[in-house]
């Protein structure tokens, strides 16, 4: 198969997370962002030995699985969703099948009797996200200013997602307000190639339980494009946002300057234009203070399902010392603390650790300790030894050296929470080689409409069999 060849084929199956498998002349082609059963037209854009990839051009025929009409007007163009045309039950079944296949491929023969508990759905199929990072750009080269999500398959083009269904309607009103004002001031967006321009991102957080909203405009320091100066624009932005009619309430309006060359949302410095730089959210009866950049599960109600599952897998914690590694803002640690002797959380993001300490104090929990630093290095400095360990690593999984140190503790039980099953499968290989067996697996759908899924695994340390001494006399 040559690069640039245009083909038509039927998607036979999907491999996690979104790799559609199409066979053309007995050759396997991967076409992303497709659905099993779709007839698709695509062009070969990568050719490697034994594996080629195609870029989706058109869905020629729908899949038999597509029994719904998309509820979002941007579906298809926007790269945020893949499964809107599939019933929610079918979505969750597909994800559960993909995860089980990944785990079954790495499970050892002695572990094959593990209990796969299926998948739990999100309490909300739509309007479930509590955080969105929208990008400024244009929908096509030299087109009008856009603000929203990346166009499917594009690194540069932006779709103005003023009708996004993954978020509460308050997000869409704020997005439209900011975009209208930016156009009124004739502001330019930051071009990734020339590194010129002012507008970069709009970050919005909205708590599901409290309705508190935080709005953060991220720009460069290139203020030369502002005719009347930056202060005039930011004051107008603040006043306009405060006058919006929303279901929730804006408790903080921020301005962050980011001159990094990388296309990431980060802060060189942040100013509070109005109110405060945090919101409060409630999960399973506990209160959490969330700042603009701190990590928190993006589906608040789904997080209650996820953490309930984790707590169920952890089991008896009475008089036990628990390590919560990759602890973020300490949500899991604080849910376990009331029924444990002590919980020690380790997190590399210092801001998240500060928030975790504040949250523990807010919830009157005195047996939580949070340490800032890389798990690989920090666990060498902790003198106490855990009775059980909870792992909730980033998407890439656990560093191999850190995993070795975690295994060396020899705890009877490990609970591994993964947002990327392929990374989980890789780490399970090592854990089984080093004496752990998989007991239970349960998926939790935190991201309806998309290809992503969370997985919770309970592992236990294999017990050495009893030794029998036999004395033989010849």
Residues known to be catalytic:
419
Taking the CA atoms of residue 62, residue 67, residue 72 and residue 74 in that order, the dihedral angle to the nearest 10 degrees is 0
Across 82-112, b (16+ Cβ under 10 Å) vs e yields bbbbbebebbbebbbebbbebbeebbeeebe
* CA 396 centroid distance within chain: 11
Cα–Cα distance for residue pair 151/153, rounded to 1 Å: 6
Contacts made by residues 58-61, CB under 8 angstroms, sequence distance 24+:
59/34, 60/8
Give the position of tokens 């034994």: 50
Within 258-345, residue ranges assigned H as helices are 300-314, 331-336
* CA 402 centroid distance within chain: 22
Cα–Cα distance for residue pair 209/334, rounded to 1 Å: 18
Could you please report the per-residue DSSP string of 51-90? EEEEEEEEEEE--TTB-S--SSTTBTTBSS-S-TTB-HHH
Specify whether the backbone of 130 is left (phi greater than 0), alpha (psi in -120 to 50) or beta: alpha
Phi, psi torsion values for 109, nearest 5 degrees = -55, -40
Query: Which token pair is 208?
Result: 């599901």
Give the position of tokens 């106490």: 384
Query: Which token pair is 134?
Result: 């929208």
Query: Which token pair is 220?
Result: 């460069």
Cα–Cα distance for residue pair 181/186, rounded to 1 Å: 9
Phi, psi torsion values for 391, nearest 5 degrees = -120, 130
Residues 6+ apart with CB under 8 A from 421: 16, 98, 99, 102, 103, 453, 455
């Amino acid at each position: 198969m040559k690069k640039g060849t245009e083909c038509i084929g039927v998607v036979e199956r999907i491999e996690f997370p979104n790799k559609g498998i199409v066979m053309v002349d007995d050759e396997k082609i991967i076409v992303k962002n497709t659905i099993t059963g779709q007839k698709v037209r695509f062009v070969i854009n990568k050719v490697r030995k034994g594996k080629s990839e195609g870029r989706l051009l058109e869905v020629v025929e729908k899949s038999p699985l597509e029994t719904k009409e998309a509820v979002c007007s941007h579906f298809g163009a926007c790269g945020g969703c893949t499964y809107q045309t599939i019933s929610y039950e079918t979505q969750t079944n597909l994800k559960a099948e993909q995860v089980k296949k990944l785990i079954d491929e790495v499970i050892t023969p002695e572990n094959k009797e593990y209990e796969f508990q299926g998948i739990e759905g999100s309490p909300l199929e739509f309007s479930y996200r509590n955080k969105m990072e929208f990008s400024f750009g244009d929908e096509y080269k030299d087109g009008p200013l856009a603000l929203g999500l990346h166009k499917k398959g594009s690194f540069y083009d932006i779709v103005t997602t003023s009708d996004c269904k993954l978020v509460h309607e308050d997000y869409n009103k704020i997005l439209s307000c900011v975009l209208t004002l930016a156009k009124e001031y004739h502001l330019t967006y930051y071009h990734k190639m020339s590194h010129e321009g002012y507008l970069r991102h709009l970050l919005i957080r909205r708590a599901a339980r409290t309705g508190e909203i935080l709005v953060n405009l991220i720009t460069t320091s290139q203020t030369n494009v502002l005719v009347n100066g930056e202060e005039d624009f930011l004051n107008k932005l603040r006043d306009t946002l405060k006058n919006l009619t929303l279901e929730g309430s804006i408790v903080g309006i921020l301005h962050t300057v980011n001159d990094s060359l990388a296309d990431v949302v980060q802060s060189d410095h942040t100013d509070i234009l109005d109110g405060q730089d945090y919101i409060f959210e409630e999960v399973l009866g506990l209160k959490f203070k969330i700042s603009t950049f701190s990590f928190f599960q993006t589906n608040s109600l789904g997080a209650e399902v996820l953490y309930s599952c984790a707590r169920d897998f952890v089991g008896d914690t009475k008089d036990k010392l628990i390590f919560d590694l990759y602890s973020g803002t300490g949500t899991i640690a604080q849910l376990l603390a009331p029924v444990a002797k002590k919980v020690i959380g380790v997190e590399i993001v210092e801001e998240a650790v500060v928030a975790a300490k504040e949250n523990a104090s807010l919830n009157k929990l005195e047996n939580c300790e949070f340490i800032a630093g890389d798990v690989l290095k920090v666990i060498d400095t902790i003198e106490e030894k855990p009775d059980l360990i909870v792992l909730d690593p980033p998407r890439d999984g656990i560093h191999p050296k850190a995993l070795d140190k975690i295994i060396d503790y020899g705890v009877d039980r490990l609970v591994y929470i993964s947002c990327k099953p392929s990374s989980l499968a890789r780490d399970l290989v090592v854990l089984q080689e080093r004496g752990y067996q998989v007991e239970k697996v349960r998926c939790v759908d935190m991201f309806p409409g998309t290809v992503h899924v969370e997985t919770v695994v309970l592992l236990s340390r294999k017990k050495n069999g009893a030794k029998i001494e036999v004395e033989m006399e010849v």
